[in-house]
Amino acid sequence: MSPNTFGALLMMASMACFTFNDVLIKLTDGAIPLGQLLFVRGALSVALILLCARWLGRISLRVSARDWVRIGIRSMSEIGAAYFFLSALLNMPIANVTAILQALPLTVAVAAAVVLGEPLGWRRMVAISVGFVGVLLIVRPGAEGFSVWSLYALGAVACVTVRDLATRSLSPAAPTMTVTLMAALTITVFFGLVSVTEPWVPFTPRLTALIVGASVLIIGAYWFSVQVMRQGDIGFVAPFRYTGLVFALILGLFVFGDWPDQLTLLGAGIVVATGLFTLYRERQISRR
């Protein structure tokens, strides 16, 4: 398959891991303070990454100074994205946060075209824009929800955009597992400091199982999110970020019993059609 097709599959895998992780975190139902929850999840993730790296021999600290700068920028962006996203999510309707974050395919694709010189044809730009319309049909945010916390959500968009560009600019010699480890480590340290200010609560067997599962999924999410920025054109793979909403609809139905209404289904159909159209265009270009 072409690099663009492979990149699209990686993006969908990343979105699936992130969505399943979110479901497990949601199933904790606020029984654990957020700082403690993410610190423990992060610590388990770091331990699992190190075990996998020891088995596969894929982690190396022999990275060029240029790549270390990129990894440092990416790690700081991870912290900023987590802080801004969680602050916004805890203080405004989730529909509004979700709508703002769906600007990411546009911001990443446009920023990559401006900063890195990535190709961005008019058809890809139209596909991204149409997919964004489908997202708005799904979340239907109210204008009255815009507040200072909306600016925090925009801050998360900016941080994730910088993170993806930093990932894209890494050299092929920088091991993906090393970048994944640094992402998990920075999140762990940050939320470890946050957890110091919160009262800790004991884990039940059910909560322990949920956190362990989330730890495994977040490793996949981090790894795929690094790999996807190193495959294909960003303008092509960016629309497939919308598939996270499709996964969320399916899991919402089977896990939480949420049945989407007609507008939501229409929006999801537009999102899927956008991805299929982009994939169809890629296959045409590959044949030529």
pLDDT at residue number 58: 65
pLDDT at residue number 129: 85
How far from 80 is each of 36, 98, 253, CA to CA, in Å? 18, 17, 31
Task: Provide the b/e sequence for 181-207 (b: ≥16 CB within 10 Å).
Answer: bbbbbbbbbbbbebbeeeeeeebeeeb
CA distance 178 to 22: 24
Tell me which residues of the chain have a pLDDT lower than 50: none
pLDDT at residue number 56: 65
124-172 pLDDT, tens digit each: 788 888 888 887 787 776 655 567 888 888 898 899 999 989 988 888 8
pLDDT at residue number 95: 62
71-96 pLDDT, tens digit each: 999 988 988 888 887 777 777 766 66
pLDDT at residue number 198: 86
pLDDT at residue number 101: 79
Which pTM value belongs to this model? 0.77
